[in-house]
């Protein structure tokens, strides 16, 4: 009995020590997401134009001379198919052309002397024209065994490799024009009327840590049947080729009508500043049993507390908090699974 009591006391003492030990977490200070003069959306970078390049005939690919991501110039050789058959056809066409020209020269003397009927002379000229046409076709077939870039750009995707059979009109590579790009954004139908061709925009891309001024806006007129959103595309200069298709962008638009984000209610949580919004990782936002959303915040005495929040748009792997977090608020981003209300933490 004495041993049992000692073990129980030891376990209780250990639990109390563990409960009092601060929990190590990772945190970050809330970042201002938008200003009061614009709306922020998530966009995807697209190429200005994509060109699928293919052979006009069938053949086995002998060489591939480009790789994905490589810059190519207009007229640059991209690939070749086996040209053995094309060369043989060209040799035959050249022989027929030589024979037809020889016959033309010999019969021309007879025609000039009046010894050759006009019908036969016309037939000889026709054979020369046919041989010439076949020769041009043979030359074209041989030239088509080499695939050259019709435009300048960067190789986006290579669909065929050496040794594979290329079919007519089957894409071999795609060439992307990224001298300028377009950022595609889906706009809710309630907000699309406030956006025009000259709507100003600021585009931020975390992948390259860059910010760009948007240009002319191309606005779609057909809504998505499921989401009831309209696609717009913002033209962006890309002289340094830093923006690549597929990159996620944060797009801040200043609509024509001067729409602003909905002001957040006062007096909830530790929110400060009406109309302000803050960014936090999506994974930091948790859901309670009653469906409300919250994040773990750290107070000045290094204790953790649940703060009820209201969320807005997502921006890449982050989400906008429109209410519940104030400027300078510290949010727990990792280790929140070990927290309870009032837990002491270190970060």
Strands 146-148 and 171-188: unpaired
Q: Which CATH number fits domain 84-143: 1.10.287.470, 3.20.20.60, 1.10.287.810, 2.60.40.10?
A: 1.10.287.470
pLDDT at residue 317, rounded to an integer? 66
Give the whole-angstrom CA distance, residue 104 versus residue 347.
96
Q: Which CATH architecture has domain 23-36+261-346?
A: Beta Barrel (2.40)
Token readout for 146 is 């080499």
Q: What is the pTM for the complete model shown?
A: 0.54
Tokens 């309630």 -> residue: 190
Contacts of 33 (CB under 8 A, 6+ apart): 40, 277, 278, 279, 315, 320, 321
pLDDT tens sequence for the chain (347 residues): 655 545 555 555 444 444 568 899 988 887 665 444 568 899 999 999 999 999 998 999 999 999 998 999 999 999 999 999 999 999 999 999 999 999 898 888 888 888 888 888 899 999 999 999 999 999 999 999 999 999 999 999 999 999 999 999 899 999 999 999 999 999 998 888 888 888 888 899 998 988 888 899 999 989 888 888 999 999 999 988 889 999 999 998 876 443 333 333 333 333 333 445 777 888 899 999 898 999 999 998 999 999 999 987 665 567 888 888 876 788 998 888 889 999 999 98
CATH 3.40.640.10 fits 58-81+145-174, yes or no: no
Q: Between 84-112 and 118-143, two packed helices, what is the crossing angle to 10 degrees?
A: 160
Q: Say which CATH architecture domain 39-48+181-254 belongs to.
A: Beta Barrel (2.40)
């Amino acid at each position: 009995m004495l041993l049992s009591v000692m073990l129980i006391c030891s376990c209780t003492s250990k639990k109390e020590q563990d409960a009092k030990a601060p929990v190590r977490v990772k945190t970050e200070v809330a970042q201002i997401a938008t200003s009061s003069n614009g709306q922020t959306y998530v966009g995807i970078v697209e190429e200005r134009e994509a060109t699928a390049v293919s052979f006009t005939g069938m053949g086995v690919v002998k060489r591939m001379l480009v790789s994905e991501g490589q810059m190519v110039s207009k007229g640059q050789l991209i690939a070749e198919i086996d040209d053995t058959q094309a060369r043989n056809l060209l040799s035959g066409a050249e022989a027929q052309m030589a024979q037809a020209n020889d016959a033309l020269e010999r019969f021309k003397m007879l025609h000039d002397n009046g010894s050759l009927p006009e019908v036969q002379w016309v037939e000889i000229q026709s054979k020369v024209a046919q041989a010439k046409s076949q020769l041009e076709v043979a030359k074209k077939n041989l030239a088509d065994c080499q695939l050259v870039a019709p435009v300048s750009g960067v190789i986006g995707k290579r669909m065929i490799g050496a040794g594979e059979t290329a079919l007519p009109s089957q894409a071999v590579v795609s060439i992307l024009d990224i001298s300028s790009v377009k950022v595609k954004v889906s706009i809710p139908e309630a907000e699309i009327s406030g956006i025009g061709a000259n709507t100003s925009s600021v585009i931020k891309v975390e992948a390259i840590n860059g910010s760009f001024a948007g240009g002319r806006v191309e606005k779609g007129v057909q809504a998505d049947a499921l989401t009831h959103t309209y696609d717009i595309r913002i033209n962006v200069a890309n002289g340094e080729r830093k923006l690549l298709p597929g990159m996620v962008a944060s797009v801040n638009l200043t609509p024509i009508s001067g729409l602003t984000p909905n002001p957040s209610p006062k007096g909830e949580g530790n929110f400060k500043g009406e109309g302000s919004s803050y960014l936090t990782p999506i994974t930091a936002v948790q859901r309670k049993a009653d469906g409300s959303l919250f994040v773990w915040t750290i107070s000045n005495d290094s204790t953790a507390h649940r703060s009820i929040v209201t969320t807005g748009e997502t921006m890449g792997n982050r989400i906008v908090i429109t209410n519940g977090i104030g400027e300078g608020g510290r949010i727990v981003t990792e280790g929140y699974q070990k927290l309870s209300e009032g837990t002491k933490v270190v970060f």
